[in-house]
Amino acid sequence: MDLNNKQRAFLSGLAAKENAILQIGKASLTPEMVDAVDEALAARELVKISVLKNCIDDPREIAEALAGRTRSTVVRVIGKKIVLYRPAKKPVIELPKK
């Protein structure tokens, strides 16, 4: 799903108010972590993830890999924070029109 700048800004604003619900540590991306992100996206649509300092992988690469494996969209990566979005079958979050 492609998001325009207005939609990204809207989702970033929603994510800014939330705490990270998942943390990626030195084990980086494990199948269990991908499953946890997938389940969180199914439940919430918008997920904020924190990459811990002991993780040697680049947060942008992690975000792209997670987005590909969970069929989601990277909203933003700032520092060690990743925000992913995947609309549900019955979306709760209503995006601004394109």
* 11-35 tens-digit pLDDT: 999 999 999 999 999 988 999 999 9
Is 28 within a domain? Answer: yes
Q: CATH number of the domain at 76, please.
A: 3.30.110.60
pTM: 0.91
Please say if the pLDDT value at position 98 is more than 80: no
Is 95 within a domain? Answer: no
What's the number of domains the chain is made of? 1
Phi-psi group of 9: left, alpha or beta (phi > 0 → left; psi -120 to 50 → alpha; rest → beta) = alpha
Residue-averaged pLDDT of the chain:
92
Is 26 within a domain? Answer: yes
Q: Is the dihedral of CA 89, 50, 76, 65 positive or negative?
A: negative
Mean pLDDT of 75-90: 93
Is 11 within a domain? Answer: yes
Count CB-CB contacts under 10 A for residue 45.
18
Is 66 within a domain? Answer: yes
Measured in degrees and rounded to the nearest 5, phi and psi for residue 29 equal -90, 105
Is 73 within a domain? Answer: yes
Instruction: Spell out the residues 6+ positions from residue 79 whose beta carbon is closer than 8 angstroms to its own.
Output: 59
Domain assignment of residue 33, given as a range? 5-85
pLDDT tens by residue, 37-82? 999 999 999 999 999 999 999 999 999 999 999 999 999 999 999 9
Tell me which of 36 and 97 has the higher pLDDT: 36
